[in-house]
Amino acid sequence: MHLGWELKLVIGGELIASQVCRNSEQVLTTSEQWKKAMIEKAWDVTGHHRTHPIRLWVSTHENGWEAWIAQMRDGTFTAWACLAGQNAVATYIEDSFEHGCAGALFDLGRLSGHQVCGANCTTWQEREH
């Protein structure tokens, strides 16, 4: 029986916040609140913050969502999924690109209901930033 989700905000390998959510609505609400809090704290404003990724990959999906993986300076990989064009909180921190893929695609299915990729989905492509 599925009871809910634990949403984690991880920045630069540091667990910033953790929240147990009972439904997907609560997951989205919590994500929004964290995003707002990060913007208020001027997170990522300079572009030279310590959490700035060194490499970034994106895969786009036919339901309008994107899955992202960021390689951080400490060698960890942060993975998340979001609607195209929106920023999202990082929900997974992994030790390899492969595990990052799994985390991001799991998030994609969990948050958007997208389970099987079709002809209009793309594989991972490195994004300049």
Sites for Zn ion among residues 59-118 (CB under 5 A): 61, 117
Q: How far, CA to CA in Å, does 31 sit from each of 9, 53, 78, 105?
A: 9, 20, 15, 17
Residues 18-37 that bind Zn ion (CB under 5 A): none
89 vs 104, beta carbon nearer Zn ion: 104
58 touches Zn ion by CB under 5 A? no
How far apart are the C-alpha atoms of 107 and 33, rounded to whole Å? 18
Minimum CB distance to Zn ion smaller for 72 or for 104: 104
Kindly state whether residue 38 participates in binding Zn ion, applying the rule CB under 5 A: no
Residue 38 is given by DSSP the state H
**CA distance linking residue 16 with residue 7, whole number of Å:** 11
Task: Give the footprint of Zn ion on this chain (CB under 5 A).
Answer: 61, 117, 121
